[in-house]
Amino acid sequence: MAFRHFTVEEANAALAEVRPLAERLVEHRRALRDAQAGLQHVAGKVAGNGGGLDAAEVKRAQGVIERELKGVIGCVERIHELGVQVKDADEGLLDFPALRGGEEVLLCWKLGEDEVGFWHTAEDGFAGRRPLPLD
């Protein structure tokens, strides 16, 4: 991960590139969860008596899982390359490291928000979000 500190302005400017990555990340994560649930359903059939097992369904689900996992990894890697931290891939929750009076804090943004409008300390996490400015 490229390490850097963002100003609020830089974090908001980065959203032009970060937002579409977060959208794709959430889509890949949702599809991955769905495919895993489908495979779990098939595994339940096997654990029962194996009746109705469709090998093509298993192979298809495994292919979807592999493809969506690669999508998740690719999005996370690109977001990290930009110096942004992924905190929740299901929700599209991202943190931008920043400084507040010499102390490292995190500018917090969640998919669906128009701009970076909150911050928190590393210890407080999302539950401790406070509205900007950093003062």
Say which residue, 135 or 119, is predicted with more confidence: 119
Say which residue, 1 or 107, is predicted with more confidence: 107
pLDDT, position 49: 63
Say which residue, 12 or 40, is predicted with more confidence: 12
- Which tens digit of pLDDT belongs to each residue from 85-109? 999 999 999 999 999 999 999 999 9
- Which tens digit of pLDDT belongs to each residue from 22-58? 999 999 999 999 988 888 877 666 655 656 667 787 7
Asked if 8 and 98 touch (Cβ cutoff 8 Å), the reply is yes
pLDDT, position 60: 86
- Which tens digit of pLDDT belongs to each residue from 51-86? 666 778 778 888 999 999 999 999 999 999 999 999
Asked if 110 and 86 touch (Cβ cutoff 8 Å), the reply is no
Measured at the CA of 90, the angle between CA 22 and CA 127, to 5 degrees, comes to 100
Burial of 45 (0-12, 13-18, 19+ CB in 10 A): middle
pLDDT, position 111: 97
